[in-house]
Amino acid sequence: MNRRAFTQRTATLASSMLGLASELTGQTPKRLVDADIGAALENARLSMLFQGKTAEGCRRWQKEFKTKLTELLGDSTPPKNWKVTVEKVVKLNDHVRHQILLEAKGIPSVPVYLLIPRDLAKGKKAPGVLCVHGHGEFGNDPIVGRNDLPGVEEVIQKSHYDYGLQFVRKGYVVAAPCMVPFGRRVNRRKYGGQDPCAVTLVRMQALGQLPITSNLRDLRWCLDLLQSRPEIQEDKLGCAGLSYGGRMTMMVAAMDPRIKVASVSGALNLLQERLSLRYSCGSQIIPKLLNYGDYSEIGSLIAPRPCVWETGSMDSLIVKPWDELFRKRLKNAYHVLGAKQNLVFDRFEGAHRWNGAVAYPLFEKVLK
């Protein structure tokens, strides 16, 4: 069952139970929890919104908000001591695909595809790109073009989802990890039709953990992997992702300055909007975030580095006027830092998919 079907089913069940309760008691409940939450969302504090007018003020705000965000997320530092286990190496026409595991004591192992161009001359170095997948049962398989696996080709065609493959064909070394709870990192059959994102959030919170923090750690770990490779220019790293991959691209670019350029696709939504208008997956939740800011403030931590924000004209997940508010807050940070040219909005004709028409040239400009 997909997220939309799950949400509709839950809403229908709740409505039926409410109707039954009304029949039995002869009255309608005076207060409903969704009404209470809606009112709380409408009055969310957002006490650390940036409203300054100077570059110095913005840099000071970025430092303070990043400190607060780190406090909310918890530790996302990758392990200092780790090893790479090679599961499989496949030589393809234009690149070599390494299927590996990142492993460290006391931390779940991370499946990663590492793609290296075949025409990279010995002793030469290339920029690296971290390519992040979104929701879906296939995890990171579509990102690297695994159309040899059942069902993957259809997903690739629908969402232009093989941007990892496209980047390696453009001469970059690519790392594409599998995140929690997707692909190889979850057994969906054990969830009884429930959404693994929601269930995983509840389970991890009981342990004092968050899915978004674990995934952030793993993405930063992949940056360590890229920088450890002899083929990589250590100071030339970018990041790109669609949907939840876009959200996590935003997160890792905001929190890790090693990323010099980013492309966030299909993720120009505010948490305040998603929680008030629709179901929002547990893998995106940061408890207490709305007391201080929203995703727009996290995105503003990327400034003044170059970033493309892709949105399709028919993407039903992008909601006006919320996306306009998001853009306004981003623009404020970039403008006062004197870097408005580094904030790029790619509004293309299409649905919820990766585009790349603006991102690929920008990555070329910044990293090569």
How far, in Å, CA of 311 to CA of 345, rounded?
A: 8
pLDDT given for residue 12 in this prediction: 44
If phi over 0 gives left and psi between -120 and 50 gives alpha, with beta otherwise, what is residue 267? alpha
pLDDT given for residue 28 in this prediction: 57
Q: Is residue 305 part of a domain?
A: yes
Q: Is residue 324 part of a domain?
A: yes
Q: Is residue 32 part of a domain?
A: no
Q: Is residue 259 part of a domain?
A: yes
Domain CATH number, residue 189: 3.40.50.1820
How far, in Å, CA of 21 to CA of 4, rounded?
A: 26
Before 181, cis peptide (omega within 30)? yes
Query: How many other C-beta atoms are found inside a 10 Å radius of the C-beta of residue 83?
Result: 12
Residue 175 structural domain: 50-367
pLDDT given for residue 34 in this prediction: 84
Average confidence (pLDDT) per 10 residues, the chain, 368 residues:
44 43 51 87 95 97 98 98 98 98 97 97 94 96 97 97 98 98 94 92 96 98 98 97 98 98 97 84 96 98 98 95 96 98 98 98 98
User: How many domains would you assign to the chain?
Assistant: 1
Tokens found for residue 234 = 């250590």
302 close to 262: Cβ distance less than 8 angstroms: yes
pLDDT given for residue 280 in this prediction: 72
Q: Is residue 231 part of a domain?
A: yes
pLDDT given for residue 2 in this prediction: 45
Q: Is residue 73 part of a domain?
A: yes
Q: Is residue 36 part of a domain?
A: no
The helix/strand/coil state of 226 is: helix
Q: Is residue 26 part of a domain?
A: no
